[in-house]
Amino acid sequence: MVADMNENSIEIKTVQDAGNSDNNKQFPTWKCVTDYFSYITPTARPLSANVSVIESGKYLWVYDVGSHENIPEMLSEVSKQKSKKIKVILSHFHPDHIANLQYIKWESLYQGKNTYKYTHIGEIVESEINVDEPDIKLRIFPMPSSHAKGSLAFMVNDKYCLLGDALYPTHKGNKTVYNTGFLKEQIDILKNIAAPYVLISHREPFVQKKQAVITWLENVYSMREKNEPWIELKGL
């Protein structure tokens, strides 16, 4: 889901409907982050999240599977081309991140407990997992989140930390809010991880400097009021 955070958006922009003057569907494409890391771009119509593909010696690690109908075939083609099976990690349960799961042939599936309520299949991750791959360092761990319970982060080579929508706020009635405690935990986790880059779904550019993201979250955190469990984003 795309949440509003205009006021605090550093250089991050929501992926807009740019380039389409009519109401036609958008089509996702491949983009490259580095030699072992590509992703399928997000779309707004239909709402479909970034699909990240990390290539190890043996597998394609896919973080989120999107909802756009073209994605299953894009993934299956690359799997065939590389002769590597797919392992899936779901960031959280929202349909724009998981709806394609049923159309993808995967060997393993990792998700938070709350996401499992929607998939009813695969493994539940409740504490950190270090994946044993000889050529690449992969870590899956729970990320507290105002936006979605049971979010999972995926860290690659201590360089890139994929977070899905975990850093976005949530809506309570007509208010856009952060859970004060979760926000503090997120800031502490981000400060402690080695990765200098974090990747947030639905945003351009996809790869963000961690320090800029921490500054954004700290600005929000500084708006908290004493003994208030929620921080409301006003003027949005």
Using CB under 5 A as the criterion, which residues of the chain lie in contact with Zn ion when the complex forms? 1, 94, 165
CB count within 10 Å of CB 19 equals 6
Closer to Zn ion at the Cβ: 171 or 175? Answer: 171
Residues 197 and 104: their CA atoms lie apart, in Å, by: 28
Residues 213 and 219: their CA atoms lie apart, in Å, by: 10
- Output the smallest distance, CB 46 to Zn ion, in A: 14
Closer to Zn ion at the Cβ: 54 or 166? Answer: 166
- Output the smallest distance, CB 125 to Zn ion, in A: 18
- Output the smallest distance, CB 165 to Zn ion, in A: 4
Phi-psi region of 88 (alpha: psi -120 to 50; beta: other; left: phi over 0): beta
- β-pair partners for 199: 162, 207
Residues 154 and 142: beta-carbon distance below 8 Å = no
Residues 142 and 190: beta-carbon distance below 8 Å = no
Closer to Zn ion at the Cβ: 59 or 110? Answer: 110
- Output the smallest distance, CB 55 to Zn ion, in A: 26
Closer to Zn ion at the Cβ: 37 or 165? Answer: 165
- Output the smallest distance, CB 23 to Zn ion, in A: 23
| Joined tokens for residue 215 | 């500054």
